[in-house]
Chains A and B, each alone.
Chain A
Amino acid sequence: MVLTYKVTSWFALAPVIFLVMAFSEDGDDYKVANAKIQSIFIWNFSRHIEWPDGYRTGDFVIAVMGNSYLKNELADMAKIKKVGNRTISVLAVNGIDDLPKCHILYVAPGHASMVATITGYLRGKSTLIVTEKDGLAKEGAVINFVVVNNKQKFELNVSNAEKHNLKISSQLSALAILVR
């Protein structure tokens, strides 16, 4: 007697796309993961940098230019974290026209061409400018995200920080790639 094996074809047809376990709705979980790491860095920047008088009251404002994943991740962080006892406020901006007074401004690589304009606009203001493109730490950014051996690291230009009246802790300086 011959009995054929039943091939459970519906299993074979099961979509594999679900296997990519997204914790974002559009499936770009790798971008969310990257944003999480950068958020942790930004959170630590807020803890290891001292802002001057005039920036020590009210909400702690983080502006994000050009990276919705980072903006969303920071917004999630803001729900559970405070800077001291201050609420974190996260907003997306498109340019200097809608840029409010803020403590940290992140500029995505796609907006790198605006850094010179932004730096000029923020002269004299105590905003930590964070960028993510090679060379920008020498162009006006205080902190510039870089990749070293596949890992997220950051460059720090202390001189630029001083221009914005920001005090960088020695602990943060020790972890940074210092740029002059």
Chain B
Amino acid sequence: MMKKIAIMLLLACSAPLFAQVQVVNDAVSFHEAGNYEKARELIDGAVQHEATQGSALAWYVRGFIYKELYKQAGDTIARNAYRTVSVTSFTTSMQLDTDSVFRAENLQNLNYLAATCYNDAVLLLQPGNTEASTPLYEQYLGIATAADSAENYKAKIMEYKLILGLIYMQRAADDTLHRKAFMEKARACYTEVLKYDPDNFSANYRMGILYYNQAVDIIRDLDYEIEFYILDNMQDTCIVLAKNSLPYMLRAYKLDSGKEDPIKGLMGIYYMLNEKDKYNEYLKRLEDLKGGGKD
């Protein structure tokens, strides 16, 4: 690919630009020879020179060289830095490429770099390192936007937010001091997923759980000494939360009535609402499901 570009460069340039275009061509040659540092030095100069700074091709070449540097780098900080420059270069090339000569190649490379960002972001979530993961995820979103293909990335956005939401819920379970804050972060994640896909089972079920757990937390933390009227108010609050939970849990159940979890969730919600008939109805459904009986 890069050899073809080298030939294109030589054929396309006019005499006054020849010297600078030759720099770009030399960068291509060094790249082909595997001398990426030299290639980088040359191309960095070329994109700053007035003769070639407006060349979509020069920026494309730069993106390609930095992509190679990213792949070769062993140090994480250096890899991220090279990747960022590569993305910027391909994006700039796209902006300058008014005839869309390099559009397909630019998009292909941006898609590749987006995938690396996303994969790194998700890998960092495995040890629960949300602080390091989030900037990479944001970078991934930036690439998706630059590539004007945010729609295509919708599934990835939802996948990431579901994972992140789960991590926040785990943290809420482990960290009583910051529990509420983590639950709100989890809620934000699922809200975003449901914006894209209102019928996402996991997001619906977990939103239901979040509201329900909030109510349980309130009751658990009640002091025995509270006045009756405060107990009454707290019950009101819990009822609101349980009712907030209900539509999500009902939808989750509707989406997959063969799963035990939403049935158990509905049992809990209806019990909390003191709707024992409904509780018993779902208890029966759970027993039927476990027993393999008809619904």
Contact = CB atoms under 8 A, between A and B. Distances in A.
Interface of A: 1-8, 10-11, 14, 16-21, 23, 27, 29-34, 36-37, 39-41, 43-44, 77, 80-81, 147, 149-152, 175
Given A20-B264, A30-B268, A77-B224, A151 B236 contact: yes
A37 B219 contact: yes
B192 interface: no
B216 A29 contact: yes
Given A44-B228, A152-B235, A3 B116 contact: yes
B271 A30 contact: yes
A21 B213 contact: yes
A29 B268 contact: yes
A6 B119 contact: yes
Interface stretch (B5-13, B88-96, B120-128): B120-128
A177 to B, nearest CB: 13
Q: Which of A31, A37, A175 has the most CB of B within 10 A?
A: A37
10 contacts: A3-B112, A17-B261, A20-B209, A23-B216, A33-B215, A34-B272, A36-B220, A40-B224, A150-B275, A151-B235
A18 B206 CA distance: 11
Given A29-B216, A36-B220, A40-B222, A19 B235 contact: no
B115 A36 contact: no
Interface of B: 108-109, 111-112, 115-116, 118-119, 122-123, 125-126, 156, 159, 162-163, 166, 169-170, 173, 202, 205-206, 209, 212-213, 215-217, 219-220, 222, 224, 226, 228, 231-232, 235-236, 238-239, 242, 261, 264-265, 267-269, 271-275
Contacts of B219: 33, 36-37
Contacts, number: 110
A150 B235 CA distance: 9
A11 B166 contact: yes
A29 B242 CA distance: 14
Contacts of B126: 8, 10-11
B154 to A, nearest CB: 13
A6 B123 contact: yes
Given A8-B122, A29-B268, A147-B274, A36 B235 contact: no
B122 A40 contact: no
Given A3-B115, A40-B226, A151-B232, 4 more contacts: A1-B112, A16-B206, A29-B268, A33-B219
Nearest to A22: B216
B163 A11 contact: yes
B224 A43 contact: yes
B150 to A, nearest CB: 15
A175 B159 CA distance: 50
B173 A21 contact: yes
Contacts of A14: 166
Contacts of B268: 20, 29-30
A77 B225 CA distance: 11
A34 B222 CA distance: 12
Nearest to A34: B271
Contacts of B173: 18, 21
B125 A8 contact: yes
A150 B271 contact: no
B224 A39 contact: yes
A149 B236 CA distance: 9
Contacts of B228: 44, 175
Given A16-B206, A23-B216, A5 B265 contact: no
Contacts of A44: 228
Contact of A33 (B109, B209, B216): B216
A80 B265 CA distance: 32
Nearest to B223: A40
A152 to B, nearest CB: 7
Nearest to A39: B224
A10 B127 CA distance: 12
